[in-house]
Each structure stands twice: as C-alpha cells, then as structure tokens.
Amino acid sequence: MRGLLVAAVLPLLVLSGCGGLGSDGADGPDTLVTMGFGLPDEHATARVAAFRAANPRVDLRINEGAFDEQQFLSAVAAGDPPDVVYAERRKLGSYAARGAVLGLADCVREHGVDLGRFREAALREVTYRDEVHGLPDFASVRLLIVNNPVVRAAGLDPAALSTADWPALVELTDRLARLEDGRPRRIGFDPKVPEFLPTWAKANGADLVGEDGLGARLDDPRVVEAVRYATDLVRRQGGWASFKALRDTFDQFGADNAYVTGQLAAMPMESWYLNTLAANSPDADVTIAPFTDRRGVPLTEAGGQAWAIPKGARHPGLACRFLVKMTAEDTWVAAATARRDALARAGKPYGGTFTANRAADERIFREVFDPGGNRILERGVPQVLALQDKAFAVAPSPAASELVRAWEGGVNRVLTGRQDPAEAMAQAQREAERALRRVGGR
C-alpha cells in the first residue's frame, strides 16, 4: 500500500519544486517549506516579514496555492511533507486522527503560548482528543446582509427581515423574489445551501455531528426539516438550475455586485464580505443583522483556517516558531496596520482584521480600525465583534472531510431533484457511518 502511495505522489513532487512539497535535505537545516498559503495582501506579507526579521537565517519557502487535501495526505504518506500546512480548521480533526499532523503540546509549552487568548470555537476546531493540533489563524462568522432599497421597494422594513420565523421568511422570499417565465431575475433570499447547512440545522436545534465527533446525525428529523426548508426556498425561486445560473452571473467581488444591481434582496454571508462591499461599493445601502435560530437568538458558525505541522516535517522546531509568530498578537497588529495603510493609499476604508486571537482583535479594533466614515463598516463591524465569541463550531471528527462531503452531497441531491430530503439525508447518514467506521468511530 505504501508503495502505491509513493507512486501516486511522485508526479506531485516533480511539479511542486523544491524537492517536492517538502525539502529533500539538500537545502540545509534552516529551510522551512509551507503548503496552502499565499501572499495576496499585506496580512500575509507583513506577517511573513515579521517571521523573517525574527529568523534571518531561515530560508522560508512559500509554496503559493490553495490547500489540496489529497496532495497533502499523499505527501505525508510518501514521507515528504511540507514543514507547515495552512488548512481549513473544520477538517483538521480528520488529519489529526490519521496521524497526518502533530500535536502541539510541546510547541505551545516551549513558547509559552496562552491558548486562552484564542476564541473558544476556533480552538475547539483544532483540538482532537484533548490535544491542540493547530493554531487558529483568521476567523469569520456568518450574518445577514440585506439590500435595503430592494426590500423597501417591496413595502417592507429591512430591519424586520429575520430568520427566526420560517413561515414568515417564506412569504418574504416570495414577495422579494422576481421571476420571469419561471426563471429568477432577482433572488429574494439565498439560503446558501449546501454550504450553510450546519447553521440551518443548528437554528432548528440539531447538530450534524455528535459532541465527541464520532457520531453523525445527518438523518435527525430536525436536520431533514432544515434541508427541506432551505431547499424549498430555492425551489420557490425557479429551482436550482435557474437559481444557480443567476447567482453565477453575480459580480460578487466587484463594484457591480448583486447588492448594487438589485439582483439580490438578502442572504447570510461570511463576515469578510463586509470589507469587500465597503471597498468596491462603499455607497451600497445595506442592513447587517445576525442570523438567528427559530427562537430569535443570534446564531453563527465559526470559520477560518489554522496552521499545523505535518507528520514527518523535517524541521518541526522551526515550524513551531513559524506558527507561533504568525498568530501572535504583535504580528497581527503589525499586519493590520500594514493593511490599513495600504488601503488608505488606495483611498479605501479599512474594516478591521478578524482573527481567532481575541487579544489581537482587541488591539486591532482599538488601535488600528479606521472605517473612514463608511456606513457598511460602521454598522457591520460591531455586529461581527458581538458575534465572535458566540459562534459555534461543528465538533472535530476523525472523518471530518467525509462528513462534509456526505451532508453536502445529500443537500445537492435534493436541490437537483434526485431525492427527497428524507431519502437524501438517510443516504448521507449511511455514508457518514461508513466513513466513521473506517476511522474507528461508531
């Protein structure tokens, strides 16, 4: 089996350079290779510069590009992993269960890292069997962004739009959506499924994964009800094919986004999108409000990435220093300052940097935050900050990646009309249980 994995990874090693994803030993003892991380803006470049300044003898090699799970696991199996990996937090439990990433107890102890400074939900995502296997990086939450002109034109109050009353939200969606010959020309409310299923399920009182991460609950009647409800919102707006076709035309990251063009009335979205709106369409008239459960209690799912050290990393000591430096309070404040100043030179506001380090955020929003009079940021950032420590996280699981694929696959089968919600989630549950059995769960 190991021979097969080595054979599979050889093409990857040739393509990725630097002796593959890892280091072939010819680079010397002070070479550090990363995976899954890039240098798109000052948040990245300023933090990398801080590490290099503190470690001038280290040859840091940033292998830019998105994290590739299969490539990473193959590299670990072949004994040639990178020294540091940057990956989605909610899947880290599965890498820890497979022994693909190292526990960080010694690293944390050696460098005196105060884990209490990290946000609870983010820390939970990187903790497997009571040991931390990664240090959390950025942090996002989910909230509602409402297009005020569209909602007001329908004779409604944007502040009254809520996810608490599901029947009322159906009526609002029908009223806000615009269909022509059965095809949507404006989305009234985008439920953002399958991606946001954990939020809809939680709003209905259900968790997709058990507290210990070893049991799936995808066929729970409350989950099935949430799937039925969210997918029905799409069905009422022309069906998945037409709905998605319209959504795919949105200039999401540009000045002509759906809030400006009036193609969207409301949707839940990750908090980082506030900065995108503020930078590209600063005059967009929107209301930012919390997503709530059915009792009206604010509800949000934590999201973000983490740094981890793969099994077999050639320089785990250097990797530990890198993780600690990249997530340290002073490093984050320096990065936030660099980002703010770069945006100011471009004539754009700075909406803050949201991290999993609570102490860093407190300083950033006290010392660095500069919305420049932008109404989106002035109204939205306090909402995000209020939600950060209320966020929930899906329990880390040794089959995390497989569970995500199972529940998203189930929702997609409902959206495309191949199965009804009960059938789809029953199949998803069977897939999840098989995956858990393979890794020693229930």
The residue among 394, 404, 322, 307 whose CA lies nearest residue 356 is: 307
Does residue 25 carry a pLDDT above 50? no
Backbone angles phi, psi at 310, to 5 degrees: -65, 155
Nearest CA to 242 out of 253, 250, 234 is that of 234
Confidence of residue 28 (pLDDT cuts 50, 70, 90): low
Per DSSP, 394 falls in state P
Find out whether 22 and 314 touch, Cβ atoms under 8 Å: yes
What 437-441 contacts at long range (C-beta under 8 Å, 24+ apart), as own/partner pairs, is 438/399, 439/94, 439/97, 439/98, 439/398, 439/399, 440/97, 440/398, 441/213, 441/214, 441/215, 441/397, 441/398, 441/399
Residues in the chain: 442
* Res 97: pLDDT: 86
Q: Is 82 exposed, middle or buried (0-12, 13-18, 19+ CB in 10 A)?
A: buried
Confidence of residue 244 (pLDDT cuts 50, 70, 90): very high
pLDDT at 439: 83
Residue 170 has φ and ψ, to the nearest 5°, of -60, -45
What is the number of other CB atoms lying within 10 angstroms of the CB of residue 39? 13
Q: Could you give phi then psi for residue 411, rounded to 5 degrees?
A: -65, -40
Taking only the tens place, the pLDDT of each residue in 122-168 is 999 999 989 999 999 999 999 999 999 999 999 999 998 999 999 99
Average pLDDT over residues 224-233: 98
Residues 393, 125 contacting (CB under 8 angstroms):
yes
pTM of the entire structure? 0.90
| Residues 230/194, Cβ–Cβ less than 8 Å | no
CA 26 to centroid of chain Cα atoms: 36
